[in-house]
């Protein structure tokens, strides 16, 4: 079953604008990760934020984490057409020496040129 | 060895047929995972191998599904007696301990 909800399910903005996607989850976490998926392709890891971190940056990406509200957000600044993709948050459940990812339903982001 | 390879990329099969997918992980990664993704949804965990040992299986993995990783390198996922509900993208990923690398997936269509 899915871990939580992502909001919005779809987002369409103009190139150059900022895009914000939100993710809520249900259980306590060790870390939360964001992935991007281009249509019909595999997932690409974007950024990981640990449960003791509140904010993290990577290039044009900014991720926040609020463990009290069990929510995270991904901000993409100065969006480009190439950012068009689906974005998923994933929480991590530790299993027998490994990490199982539990994904949300994703946000489909469209950047209009 | 630049990434995780999956073969085939696409598979169309008739209901009731058996299909097998292959995943070649990054060679130094001893952990290998299979996920299934249906249209418009996020991926869902199916199973996990550490080396050749299958250590975790999801309830989603019915008796018709079997996965192997015989020498701790490549893995296969077989679906017997396919049903239309099996239509999905099957994703493989590998990792050292932390951090996944996903393959491009095998898209299965059962007609």
Q: With an 8 Å Cβ cutoff, is B99 touching chain A?
A: yes
Q: Is the pLDDT of residue B22 over 50?
A: yes
Which pLDDT score, from 0 to 100, does residue A49 have? 95
Window B:2-61, CB contacts with A under 8 Å = 4, 6, 31, 33, 35, 40-45, 48, 50, 55-56
pLDDT digit string, tens, across residues B38-74: 998 999 999 999 999 999 899 888 899 999 999 889 9
Tell me how close the Cα of A79 comes to any Cα of chain B, in angstroms: 23
Which pLDDT score, from 0 to 100, does residue A37 have? 96
Which pLDDT score, from 0 to 100, does residue B76 have? 98
pLDDT digit string, tens, across residues A89-99: 999 888 887 78
Nearest residue, CB atoms, A105 vs list B42, B45, B95: B42
Q: Per-residue DSSP letters for chain B?
A: --S-EEE-SEEEE-TT--EEEEEE--TT--EEEEEEE-TTS--EEEEEEETTEEEEE-TTS-TTEEEE-TTSS-EEEEESS--GGG-EEEEEEEESSS--EE---EEEEE-
Q: Is the pLDDT of residue A3 over 70?
A: no
Whether A103 and B4 lie within 8 Å, measured CB to CB: no
Tell me how close the Cα of A107 comes to any Cα of chain B, in angstroms: 9
Nearest residue, CB atoms, A100 vs list B48, B101, B107: B48
Q: Is the pLDDT of residue B2 over 80?
A: no
Average pLDDT taken over every residue of chain B:
93
Which pLDDT score, from 0 to 100, does residue A1 have? 44
């Amino acid at each position: 079953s899915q871990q939580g909800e992502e909001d919005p399910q779809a987002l369409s903005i103009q190139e150059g604008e900022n895009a914000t996607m939100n993710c809520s989850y249900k259980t306590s976490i060790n870390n939360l990760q964001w992935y991007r998926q281009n249509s019909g392709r595999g997932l690409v890891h974007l950024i990981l934020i640990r449960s003791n971190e509140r904010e993290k940056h990577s290039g044009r990406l900014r991720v926040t984490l609020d463990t009290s509200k069990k929510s995270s957000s991904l901000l993409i600044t100065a969006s480009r057409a190439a950012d068009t993709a689906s974005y998923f948050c994933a929480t991590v459940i530790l299993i027998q020496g490994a990490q199982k990812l539990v994904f949300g339903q994703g946000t489909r982001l469209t950047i209009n040129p | 060895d630049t990434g995780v390879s999956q073969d085939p990329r696409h598979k169309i099969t008739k209901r009731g047929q058996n299909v097998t997918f292959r995943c070649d992980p990054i060679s130094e990664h001893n952990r290998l995972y299979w996920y299934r993704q249906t249209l418009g949804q996020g991926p869902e965990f199916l199973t996990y191998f550490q080396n050749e040992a299958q250590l975790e299986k999801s309830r989603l993995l019915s008796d018709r599904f079997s996965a192997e990783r015989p020498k701790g390198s490549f893995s296969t996922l077989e679906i017997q007696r396919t049903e239309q509900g099996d239509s999905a993208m099957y994703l493989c990923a590998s990792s050292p301990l932390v951090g996944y690398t996903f393959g491009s997936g095998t898209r299965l269509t059962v007609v």
